[in-house]
Amino acid sequence: MAKKADEIRNLYNQTVSHYDERYRSIQFSKFSEISARWNEKDTVLDVGCGTGLLIEYLEIVPTIYVGVDLSFNMLQVVKEKKPWPCCVAGDVRKLPIRKNAFSRIMSFSVLQNIPDPRETIAEILRVSEKPSSLVITALRKTISIMSLVNWVREEAERHGIRMEIEEFNLALEDVGIKCDIKKE
Ligand SMILES: C[S@@+](CC[C@H](N)C(=O)[O-])C[C@H]1O[C@@H](n2cnc3c(N)ncnc32)[C@H](O)[C@@H]1O
């Protein structure tokens, strides 16, 4: 059975002390898939940002970077790493962000925690600029690449959003897609 938000928050609050040591290298290998797609004018939303490993990885500082996560303990680690990220304690099933706000949206290894991942996918599409780029990954043991692609296609169609989807092979544990959302 899918875990409730409180359980997820408690789980990640407890994981925080060893998260970076344990997951840095595997998460960095996933991030390497997207490094060529950055520039400093990007406005970046990190959906389920955790301890901000993506921020550590970035060589370019984007104009705006906002990380959203349920776990306050994880967000505190982000603030210890760099002064510039804006951290928001919030639920990715109802992002506390206005529509069409971001040009790059990243969500690494988060959707497997969400009982109905389509809710978060719909939210990601809502806050995406037209045009914009998305990268979404999820643990393969919970979510198949076919489900991920179908959910994104269905939500895009439902909201009249035109996009191209490219699947990519992440190291070992995640399935992932890159999406280019077209101009309206
Ligand atoms: C496996 S970690 C990945 C963190 C980060 N994206 C990374 O690459 O290291 C999953 C993160 O998703 C967050 N999370 C899970 N469910 C969430 C929800 N409903 N709303 C916001 N964050 C959530 C957890 O708190 C945790 O920080």
83-118 pLDDT, tens digit per residue, is 999 999 999 999 999 999 999 999 999 999 999 999
Domain regions of the chain by residue span: 5-181
C-alpha closest to that of 151 among 183, 125, 170: 125
User: pTM (2 decimals)?
Assistant: 0.96
Q: Which pair of structure tokens corresponds to residue 114?
A: 């969400």
Average pLDDT over residues 152-162: 97
The partner residues of 137 in beta bridges, in order of sequence, read: 176
Which CATH superfamily is 5-181 part of? Vaccinia Virus protein VP39 (3.40.50.150)
Which of 47, 69, 92 has the most ligand 1 atoms within 8 A of CB, as the residue to mutate? 69
CA of 120 relative to ligand 1 center, distance in Å:
12
C-alpha 38/C-alpha 153 separation (Å) is 24
Average pLDDT over residues 13-17: 92
Q: How confident is the model at residue 59 (pLDDT cuts 50, 70, 90)?
A: confident
C-alpha 157/C-alpha 45 separation (Å) is 22
Q: How confident is the model at residue 26 (pLDDT cuts 50, 70, 90)?
A: very high
C-alpha 71/C-alpha 151 separation (Å) is 26
For ligand 1, which residues put their CB under 6 angstroms from it?
Answer: 5, 8, 12, 23, 27, 48-50, 53-54, 69-71, 74, 91-93, 108-110, 113-114
Give the chain's mean pLDDT. Answer: 93
